[in-house]
């Protein structure tokens, strides 16, 4: 009888301690249609921004801005020179008789 009582107490203790180790289930939240669409748009936007940033970084690596500034400077210098020559020719054409 003593063995039966010991076994019953051990089973009771085991049952009580097993209940305290029970893992609480986390309910999975169902994503609605709006949430899915919003997540998709956000991911597409982020991908687009990342791609554009990569393109800008590669363009900056080519130093196109500096090349464009140099081209503008050289072109304006040449055009200024030729416009001055043309202005002098026109002036001497009209006022050479005086």
Residue 16 pLDDT: 62
**45 and 71 co-located in one domain:** no
**Does 75 reside within a domain?**
yes
Calpha distance 73→67 (Å, rounded): 10
Q: What is the pLDDT along the chain (98 residues), one digit of tens a residue?
A: 777 777 777 677 666 665 555 555 555 566 788 888 889 999 999 999 999 998 888 877 788 788 889 999 999 999 999 999 999 999 999 888 76
**68 and 95 co-located in one domain:** yes
Calpha distance 6→13 (Å, rounded): 11
Q: Give the total number of structural domains in the chain.
A: 2
pTM: 0.37
**55 and 70 co-located in one domain:** no
**49 and 77 co-located in one domain:** no
25's enclosing H/E stretch is none
Calpha distance 66→83 (Å, rounded): 26
């Amino acid at each position: 009888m003593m063995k039966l009582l010991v076994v019953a107490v051990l089973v009771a203790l085991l049952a009580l301690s097993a209940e305290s180790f029970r893992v609480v289930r986390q309910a999975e939240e169902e994503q609605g249609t709006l949430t899915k669409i919003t997540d998709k748009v956000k991911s597409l936007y982020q991908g687009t921004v990342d791609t554009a940033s990569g393109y800008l970084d590669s363009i900056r690596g080519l130093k196109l801005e500096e090349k464009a500034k140099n081209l503008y400077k050289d072109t304006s210098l040449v055009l200024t020179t030729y416009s001055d020559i043309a202005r002098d020719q026109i002036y001497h054409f009209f006022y050479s008789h005086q």
